[in-house]
């Protein structure tokens, strides 16, 4: 009977080394995943500004094609182009100056505050848009 008890070992649980390895793996995954998730969520939030600029883009393009004047003559409030809006605590800023659309994230104290999305038109008959701004350096637009 003594021999039977010795050959039959019971598992007592995980060893300290095994637990430390699991904790280290979770820590490494968290160190990679948290910044990636933060960047992804900021990029998703910034699409609000891109959408605000898209509405302005439609109106500026329509004005360019309808009026046919030089691109430098289109400002906020001209034709059907909406008037400029300053960035505030609860609203994103949008403006059009000489056909160039600038959209700015609201002044809410987040990491996105003040980040801009700028769209510049080229050509009157076949308007193409070039996107620039501080959002490009952060890869959020």
Q: What gap in Å lies between CA 92 and CA 27, rounded to an integer?
A: 37
Q: What gap in Å lies between CA 100 and CA 115, rounded to an integer?
A: 16
Residue 27's pLDDT is what?
A: 95
Domain boundaries, the chain: 15-138
pLDDT band at 45 (very low <50, low <70, confident <90, very high): very high
Choosing among 3.10.450, 1.10.760, 3.30.700, 3.40.50, the CATH entry for 15-138 is 3.30.700
pLDDT band at 8 (very low <50, low <70, confident <90, very high): low
pLDDT of residue 86 exceeding 90, the answer is yes
Q: Write out pLDDT tens, residues 100-132.
A: 999 999 999 999 999 999 999 887 677 789 999
Q: Where are the beta strands (DSSP E) in the chain?
A: 93-97, 100-104, 116-122, 128-132
For the segment 23-36, the average pLDDT, to the nearest whole number, is: 93
- pTM of this structure: 0.75
Residue position matching structure tokens 């700015």: 104
| Pairwise pLDDT comparison (33 vs 80), residue with the higher score | 33
């Amino acid at each position: 009977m003594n021999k039977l008890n010795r050959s039959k070992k019971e598992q007592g649980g995980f060893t300290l080394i095994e637990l430390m390895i699991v904790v280290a793996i979770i820590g490494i995954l968290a160190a990679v995943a948290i910044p990636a998730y933060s960047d992804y969520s900021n990029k998703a939030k910034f699409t609000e500004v891109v959408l605000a600029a898209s509405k302005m883009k439609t109106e500026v393009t329509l004005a360019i094609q309808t009026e046919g004047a030089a691109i430098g003559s289109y400002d906020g409030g001209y034709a059907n182009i909406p008037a400029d809006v300053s960035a505030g605590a609860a609203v994103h800023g949008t403006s059009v100056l000489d056909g160039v659309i600038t959209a700015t994230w609201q002044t809410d104290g987040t990491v996105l505050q003040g980040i801009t999305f700028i769209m510049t038109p080229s050509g009157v008959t076949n308007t193409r848009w070039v996107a620039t701004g501080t959002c490009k350096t952060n890869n959020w637009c």
